[in-house]
């Protein structure tokens, strides 16, 4: 297969697997954190050449789930007020936090069938909308995925 066809296939796979080409996601992080690709690679725990290959579509995927988890952590940190201001110390603190993190991906951290909506009735049975919203607000900084699950349970109850 010709190089450009391989790249196009890999970019299509990235859109399917990651929602968009990884090059777009990485470029946003480089700009948001005002770092080089090599510096970002170091934070993510991947070699700079490997990051370049993924960005260009010469490779389709990030093989190490911890690297992907760190990328998602950085994407979420961009949305926090202190990082969003662009303050250099906040940017560096966020980068250091992610670099030092040891994210794990296990069978317990992934839904079995991908349908989290089965949890909504259980959550609503143990807590009313107000309690779920309060819990989501309290958890949003440290546990954003759980907070969002609570918010989706609230929205599902409103339908």
Per-residue pLDDT at 112 = 42
CB-based contact 30:24 (threshold 8 Å): no
Per-residue pLDDT at 137 = 94
Residue found by looking up tokens 């919203």 in the block: 133
pLDDT in tens, 72-122: 999 999 988 888 899 999 999 999 999 999 887 665 554 444 567 777 888
Per-residue pLDDT at 104 = 75
Per-residue pLDDT at 115 = 60
DSSP string across 23-83: HHHHHHHHHHHT--HHHHHHHHTS-HHHHHHHHHTSS-----HHHHHHHHHHHHHHTSHHH
> Quick check: pTM over 0.85?
no
Closest to 26 (Cα-Cα) out of 70, 85, 66, 65: 70
d(CA 37, CA 42): 9
pLDDT in tens, 14-49: 999 888 999 999 999 999 999 999 999 999 999 999
Mean pLDDT of 60-64: 90
């Amino acid at each position: 297969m010709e190089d450009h066809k391989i790249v196009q296939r890999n970019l299509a796979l990235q859109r399917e697997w990651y929602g968009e080409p990884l090059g777009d996601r990485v470029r946003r992080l480089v700009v948001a954190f005002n770092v080089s690709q090599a510096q970002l690679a170091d934070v993510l725990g991947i070699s700079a050449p490997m990051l370049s290959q993924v960005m260009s579509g010469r490779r389709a995927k990030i093989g190490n789930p911890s690297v992907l988890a760190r990328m998602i952590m950085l994407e979420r940190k961009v949305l926090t007020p202190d990082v969003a201001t662009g303050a250099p110390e906040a940017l560096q603190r966020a980068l250091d936090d992610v670099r030092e993190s040891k994210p794990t991906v296990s069978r317990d951290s992934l839904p079995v069938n991908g349908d989290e909506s089965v949890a909504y009735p259980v959550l609503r049975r143990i807590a009313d909308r107000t309690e779920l919203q309060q819990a989501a607000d309290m958890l949003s900084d440290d546990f954003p995925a759980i907070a969002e699950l609570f918010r989706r349970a609230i929205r599902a109850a409103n339908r």
